[in-house]
A and B are shown apart, each in its own frame.
Chain A
């Protein structure tokens, strides 16, 4: 049933002179173009873009879409990514006039409704974090990290302290050290421990007066709560440093515990994960940060404040914090994603937020339990919203790797878990079912994995068997990069 004619490259569908868009006639008096712009600035040739008709475009990209797995179509237990259901109401509401079509330089007086939404979003994120000062500006989690580190740097500069070190555990997301490096800090990685939690003694050795910040994901990338987080935070605070909480895993703890209550001074959210973004085939995300009040003066500009006018009317204003680090991106932020997050939080309410986290934990523990004899998770009796299983034993005994299982799952209509992350677990399969999946789905998924482990390793090495593509040659892709299409010459 696949239409391979329509899924050729769009450039192969192109035909000279064919077109899709028709523009209106020009209704103002026109002048010769060369009169307005000197010839040396003008293009000599038309753009070499594909020439296709509108039905070409629709059939091409609709057929391409069917080659994707997605949350709408498949169970997508991609660990660390929180692939939960993306409510359809968000799509409609984020496209309302007065929201979707507001120019970034519209005057605050003419967008009070939109600013009210964003102000409430600031407040809700501050409350969930237990950290009251919020910037909605960062475009994604990684930019949130970078922004918070720049805030920390400005804070220490302001205090005349020269702190160079950022500490993080070995299980950290790659974005943590990458962000710290861009913010100009030296990265110090703390070794992994056998129980999957931070090594407090090791931390004590490294924490000193040159420590600017500890970056810690809690719950961590193994899906475990860092039980000693309060002590960890105290160690950092005692040497005058700040504690940064990577909020990638907030889906596990929202409404149950708060970064501000367990010692965090700063954190970022991933609105596209925890508050259902959606993920958009790789973004856009939104990575707001929440910080303690004493860091508020350094937040990027602008933030939204609520005041009361003389006539008693509520007024929302865009305000520049007094010692702002400046801007980390153009314009206000990824507003379209923030609106969806707002809709989500207003749909759940305080009970719903907690319930979502509890059921994310329930689903993860259930999946962990029904998989434990085939794919055991080395760390923790119970987990929070995700767990990291290891195919280590299967690999040794049957030569079946985590990648084999991941690829074979695709044949059965399941997206693969995250594989080979975190780096501290060999043959890792990181599974995050989220709360928006049924017991029946989890049972079927586990049963499929059981069947897969009974298949021959040789057969699995070639999986998937039923998809249009199987085991792309990544080495060739990297050695001889082909990153764009070129017209064939001399055919």
Chain B
């Protein structure tokens, strides 16, 4: 079943209009020796009903957050997704359109993305946002490359403390083949970046200082202090933030960030085993022409009416080719639309209340777990938002397996990211995240399982 239209007689009529006898004749453009002489070795076609039965059977062999209690963290979280997000982004007018090259036929998409860019600025405290990148780690790398272009410095980039280990890996993949040195300053005993060591690492060749807040270990960094150290050497501060935390925490833009990036999954995007997610990138106005990715701009049309277009395309690959600011073409449009719906639905008050629920529930959970003999909450004196590191009396992997059997998911275990700078022994350490969706009963259940 290939969703075709042409009946046999239509096919014949079309072929004769083309002036050939058969489709095979059209295929003669492909040299015969290069053509397959048999069908591909693919599984046989399924009807819609069979396909659904097949998928349902396989889906039933996988554990999703909706049927379990998800305390998993590490960059992707089980936040609530309002119905509005699914209903509106499920409209074919959005999800079956493409990149808005023809502005007149894409004003819906273009205006929605203009609103997205604006809301991301409002959320992060920056002046300009692009229309999306792939995901959080990619955004860190793109921001770093952008900082190099902006400062003209390619000698060094500094990772300040506990950046998500996968973001670090992606960054190393992107710059590993260049002469740029990646210096990783470990966290100190309080689980935040060691500011003295950081100060020593930033030099006149440093393009960017990259900091995640709250950091990978859940701890809140002193962004203002890091900004001072960064700007003293005229480097740029790249902050990777948790969008939900900004319902409570000061915006990175208000604390001196030059480029703000984030994993946007928390903004109404399902977990779906890691993607598609949303790469957020926002910055100060003066970097506009160095930005990667699509930008939507407001302008007027020939009658003087307000409208929206893909703007500043001279930065992009289809114009600049090997001199482009990035190779990105297809971005994460529909995910940006989901985030737009989510932010509109939440508004200032919804963001604040969601963040407060995360904060209170995470601290309740941490307190309860700390009271269990043998368990410690690491960096317990350091301020946290919704996630924290547990030191268990046994291997973290074993513990994760144990509670999983009772329908509760925690983790990831930190050992899977070892070595983490500043964290020599990770065997018994794991992350636990508590979103607004977790109830007291669920938290108490987890605590009982840990005992």
How many chain B residues touch A (CB < 8 A): the figure is: 204
The docked-state distance in angstroms from the alpha carbon of A252 to that of B170 is 33
The answer on a CB contact under 8 Å between A329 and B318 is no
Contact of A378 with B by CB under 8 A: no
The answer on a CB contact under 8 Å between B327 and A101 is no
The docked-state distance in angstroms from the alpha carbon of A382 to that of B13 is 17
The answer on a CB contact under 8 Å between A29 and B364 is yes
The answer on a CB contact under 8 Å between B136 and A78 is no
The docked-state distance in angstroms from the alpha carbon of A283 to that of B336 is 9
Residue-wise interface mask of B (406-425) relative to A, using a CB-CB cutoff of 8 A (1 in contact, 0 not): 00010110000000000000
Stretch at the interface among A41-49, A203-211, A235-243, A447-455: A41-49
Contact of B172 with A by CB under 8 A: yes
Stretch at the interface among A90-98, A289-297, A390-398: A90-98
The answer on a CB contact under 8 Å between B363 and A174 is no
The answer on a CB contact under 8 Å between B409 and A327 is no
The answer on a CB contact under 8 Å between B82 and A21 is yes
The answer on a CB contact under 8 Å between A68 and B97 is yes
Choose among A41, A48, A71, A182 the residue with the greatest number of B CB atoms under 10 Å from its CB.
A41
Residue-wise interface mask of B (31-60) relative to A, using a CB-CB cutoff of 8 A (1 in contact, 0 not): 101111001111111101001101111111
The answer on a CB contact under 8 Å between A103 and B333 is no
28 A–B contacts, CB within 8 A, in A order: A9-B111, A21-B349, A37-B220, A41-B222, A43-B246, A43-B251, A58-B87, A67-B106, A81-B98, A93-B52, A94-B272, A98-B59, A101-B78, A101-B272, A174-B320, A179-B327, A187-B321, A281-B98, A282-B109, A283-B330, A328-B170, A330-B138, A337-B276, A468-B104, A469-B305, A474-B309, A483-B114, A483-B298
**CB-contact partner of A282 in B88, B99, B247, B313, under 8 A:** B99
Known A21-B346, A69-B97, A351-B45: A38·B383 in contact at CB below 8 Å: yes
Contacting residues, chain A, for B52 (C-beta < 8 A): 89, 92-93
Known A37-B383, A280-B95, A281-B95: A225·B30 in contact at CB below 8 Å: yes
Known A23-B353, A255-B39, A331-B275: A462·B88 in contact at CB below 8 Å: no
The answer on a CB contact under 8 Å between A98 and B60 is yes
Chain B nearest CB, measured from A107 CB (Å): 7
Known A46-B349, A52-B347, A73-B92: A439·B105 in contact at CB below 8 Å: no
Known A113-B62, A335-B273, A469-B307: A227·B29 in contact at CB below 8 Å: yes
Contacting residues, chain B, for A285 (C-beta < 8 A): 330
The answer on a CB contact under 8 Å between A483 and B128 is yes
The answer on a CB contact under 8 Å between A96 and B349 is no
Chain A nearest CB, measured from B368 CB (Å): 9
**CB-contact partner of B91 in A62, A120, A224, under 8 A:** A62
The answer on a CB contact under 8 Å between A349 and B364 is no
The docked-state distance in angstroms from the alpha carbon of A473 to that of B311 is 10
Contact of A100 with B by CB under 8 A: yes
Contacting residues, chain A, for B440 (C-beta < 8 A): 27-28
Contact of A343 with B by CB under 8 A: yes
Chain A nearest CB, measured from B113 CB (Å): 8
**CB-contact partner of B96 in A71, A230, A336, under 8 A:** A71
Chain A nearest CB, measured from B257 CB (Å): 14
